[in-house]
Amino acid sequence: MTRNKLTALTGLGDKDALINVYTQNRPSFSFEVQEQELYPLQKGEIYAIGQACGNGWRKVFNVYAKLLFPLLGHFHGVDQRYSTWQQYRDEELLQSGSHTALWFTPPKFEQSDTLQIIMGRTYAKSLDLPNTLEWINQEFAIDLSHRIIVCPYFDYRQLSNHKILFMLELITQHFLKK
The predicted pLDDT at position 150 comes to 97
Q: pLDDT tens digit string along 116-171?
A: 999 999 999 999 998 899 999 999 999 999 999 999 999 999 999 999 999 999 99
Closest CA to 98 of 126, 61, 148: 61
The predicted pLDDT at position 4 comes to 45
Residue pair 168/70 in contact by the 8 Å Cβ criterion: yes
Longest dimension (CA), the chain: 46
The set of residues, in sequence order, having a beta carbon less than 8 Å from that of 173 and lying 6+ positions away, is: none
Q: pLDDT tens digit string along 30-49?
A: 666 555 688 899 999 999 99
Give CA 149 to chain center in angstroms. Answer: 11
Banded pLDDT at 176 (limits 50, 70, 90):
confident
Q: pLDDT tens digit string along 13-24?
A: 999 999 999 999
Strand partners, 149: 117, 142
Containing 171, the helix (H) or strand (E) segment is: helix 161-174
The set of residues, in sequence order, having a beta carbon less than 8 Å from that of 48 and lying 6+ positions away, is: 29
* Cβ neighbours around 104 below 10 Å, total: 16
Closest CA to 12 of 88, 106, 95, 118: 95
Q: pLDDT tens digit string along 67-110?
A: 999 988 776 655 568 889 999 999 999 999 999 999 998 988 76
The predicted pLDDT at position 8 comes to 62
| pTM metric for this prediction | 0.89
Q: How do the domains of the chain map onto residue ranges?
A: 2-174
Q: Is the pLDDT of residue 5 over 90?
A: no
The predicted pLDDT at position 38 comes to 85
**Conformation bin of residue 87: beta by default, left when phi > 0, alpha when psi is -120 to 50:** alpha
